């Protein structure tokens, strides 16, 4: 179904070494690029982050540095969300206002706040035709291409190891029926500019997931078909792309398309994660609540839909404030859309994963490793057997010289050698076939990790 464009040109607004991928499993094969969900601070099932984590996903929000002194804003942020995306603070005009002069102060505030509260960060956005500083707008050709490569290298290197996923390229395709690239100064440097951006980002921050992000691609249409063709080509040629972001800005003129879930699934079938990156839905009451629930259920139905980010916290924080598009009202009260979202995360008939349970009860574990020179991040998926689990423990032996740096969603028995990772309070109880994930970062070499899982 064709998804009508929201607008032709988006105004500047407050929204938006080679990686080694190994997949090792005790009982089967796990698709690379699985979700890592950080532990939220509240009890499972009572907050967006906790409920999403139970389904193997994250639930995030866009954050503005100048609102981190607002007690109501920060209270909701730290209670409800386990992923943050800087609204503007990592964009080109904010991080390199003058050529080769980099400023990271406001972005650093957001990253530091996230780290202090056990939240991860999506980096947004390394290369975009909008919100470029004046000096970039005055460049073209090889000079602009060199500036782009330098910018991506410097910003991604500065935050290396601190970013879960980068929106490497943002909004590079045109609206309408042409299915072509947007005519921008970056596009005019050559049609390979997106590939160059992704390869540059991989070299600068090899442990981060690399995403393409766009709007009006939520259903199958000329624009989403063009993005799909690019991703398919990148995967076939080994261009490093790990995920595709769907902004999902909906209103009466641009509603949730009928084929929303099917569209997410066809991208996932290419071998990339899909993420809902900038969700907001204008409206109020039951209609808005139903649409939020529909989006959540679609993500839960696609095993590689790894998380949802809403673009702001309160309606008054939104770039579309007049449309009251978010989950909390201006005073910070939960709206019906919040309740519908939480209920959709907590229940319904949609399974969180298509992974079948291992026969004979117990549990199984599988590991995905993103490695670089000197360190690696491992994601471990635990799948309950036919009898379900009340708790689980996964054993892994780290190679000599490797040591844990940090762990999320599990408690390790020690920093090195034979380590046993036990569930935390909110993710130990799994029904038959249900999955949960934990992860860890370590220095040294990943070697060969062979997991074992014991259920209780």
pLDDT tens figures, 289-298: 999 999 999 9
The predicted-structure confidence for 96-126, as pLDDT tens digits, reads as follows: 999 999 999 999 999 999 999 999 999 999 9
pLDDT of residue 361: 66
pLDDT of residue 340: 95
The predicted-structure confidence for 71-103, as pLDDT tens digits, reads as follows: 999 999 999 999 999 999 999 999 999 999 999
Looking at mean pLDDT, say which of 16-30, 183-197, 248-262, 364-378 comes out highest: 183-197
Q: Which residues contact 186 (CB under 8 A, 6 or more apart)?
A: 127, 129, 144, 148, 172, 193
CB 131 within 8 A of CB 92: yes
The second-level CATH assignment, the architecture, of 363-455 is Sandwich (2.60)
* pTM (global) more than 0.75: no
pLDDT of residue 424: 85
Length of the chain: 456
> Span 405-416, mean pLDDT?
86
CA 155 – CA 146 distance, rounded (Å): 14
Residue with tokens 């969900």: 37
pLDDT of residue 386: 87
CA 430 – CA 121 distance, rounded (Å): 27
Through-space distance between the first and last CA atoms of the chain, rounded to whole angstroms: 47
pLDDT of residue 360: 53
CA 280 – CA 370 distance, rounded (Å): 31
**Residue 350: pLDDT over 90:** no
CB 47 within 8 A of CB 80: yes
Continuous segment of H or E residues that includes residue 53? helix 48-54
The predicted-structure confidence for 192-226, as pLDDT tens digits, reads as follows: 999 999 999 999 999 999 999 999 999 999 999 99
What sign results for the dihedral spanned by CA atoms 249, 321, 338, 112? positive
Centre a 10 Å sphere on the Cβ of residue 28 and count the other Cβ atoms it contains. Answer: 12
Mean pLDDT of the residues in the chain: 87
Q: What residues are labeled active site?
A: 278
Domain boundary assignment for the chain: 48-346, 363-455
Chosen CATH of 48-346 out of 3.40.50.300, 1.10.3660.10, 3.40.50.720, 3.20.20.80 = 3.20.20.80
* pLDDT category of residue 442 using cuts at 50, 70 and 90: confident
> Span 381-399, mean pLDDT?
91
């Amino acid at each position: 179904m064709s998804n009508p464009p929201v607008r032709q040109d988006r105004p500047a607004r407050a929204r938006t070494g080679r990686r080694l991928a190994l997949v090792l499993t005790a009982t089967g094969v796990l698709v690379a690029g699985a979700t890592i969900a950080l532990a939220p601070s509240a009890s499972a099932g009572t907050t967006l982050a906790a409920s999403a984590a139970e389904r193997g996903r994250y639930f995030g929000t866009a954050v503005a540095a100048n609102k981190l002194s607002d007690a109501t804003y920060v209270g909701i942020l730290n209670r409800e969300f386990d992923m943050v995306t800087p609204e503007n603070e990592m964009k080109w005009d904010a991080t390199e206002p003058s050529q080769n002069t980099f400023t990271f102060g406001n972005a650093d505030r957001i990253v530091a706040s996230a780290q202090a509260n056990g939240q991860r960060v999506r980096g947004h956005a390394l290369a975009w035709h909008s919100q470029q500083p004046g000096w970039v707008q005055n460049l073209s050709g090889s000079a602009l291409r060199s500036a782009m490569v330098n910018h991506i290298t410097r910003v991604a290197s500065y935050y290396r190891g601190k970013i879960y996923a980068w929106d490497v390229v943002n909004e590079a395709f045109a609206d309408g029926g042409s299915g072509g690239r947007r005519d921008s100064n970056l596009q005019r440097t050559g049609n390979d500019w997106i590939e160059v951006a992704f390869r540059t980002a991989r070299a600068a921050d090899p442990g981060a997931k690399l995403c393409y992000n766009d709007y009006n691609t939520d259903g199958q249409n000329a624009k989403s078909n063009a993005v799909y063709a690019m991703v398919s080509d990148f995967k076939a040629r080994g261009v490093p792309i790990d995920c595709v972001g769907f902004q999902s800005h909906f209103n009466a003129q641009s509603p949730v398309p009928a084929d929303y879930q099917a569209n997410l699934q066809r991208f996932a079938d290419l071998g990339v994660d899909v993420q809902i990156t900038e969700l907001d839905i204008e409206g109020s009451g039951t209609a808005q609540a139903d649409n939020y629930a529909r989006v959540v259920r679609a993500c839960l139905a696609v095993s590689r839909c790894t998380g949802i980010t809403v673009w702001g916290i309160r309606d008054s924080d939104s770039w579309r404030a007049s449309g009251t598009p978010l989950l909390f009202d201006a005073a910070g009260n939960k709206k019906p859309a919040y309740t519908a979202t939480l209920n959709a995360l907590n229940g319904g008939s949609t399974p969180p994963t298509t992974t079948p349970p291992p026969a004979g009860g117990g549990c199984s574990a599988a590991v995905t490793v993103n490695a670089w020179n000197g360190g690696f991040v491992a994601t471990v998926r635990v799948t309950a057997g036919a009898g379900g689990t009340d708790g689980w423990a996964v054993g892994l032996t780290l190679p000599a010289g490797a040591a844990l740096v940090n762990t999320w969603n599990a408690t390790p028995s020690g920093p090195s050698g034979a380590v046993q990772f036990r569930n935390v309070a909110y993710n130990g109880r799994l029904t038959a076939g249900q999955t949960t994930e934990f992860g860890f970062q370590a220095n040294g070499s990943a070697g060969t990790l062979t997991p074992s899982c014991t259920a209780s």
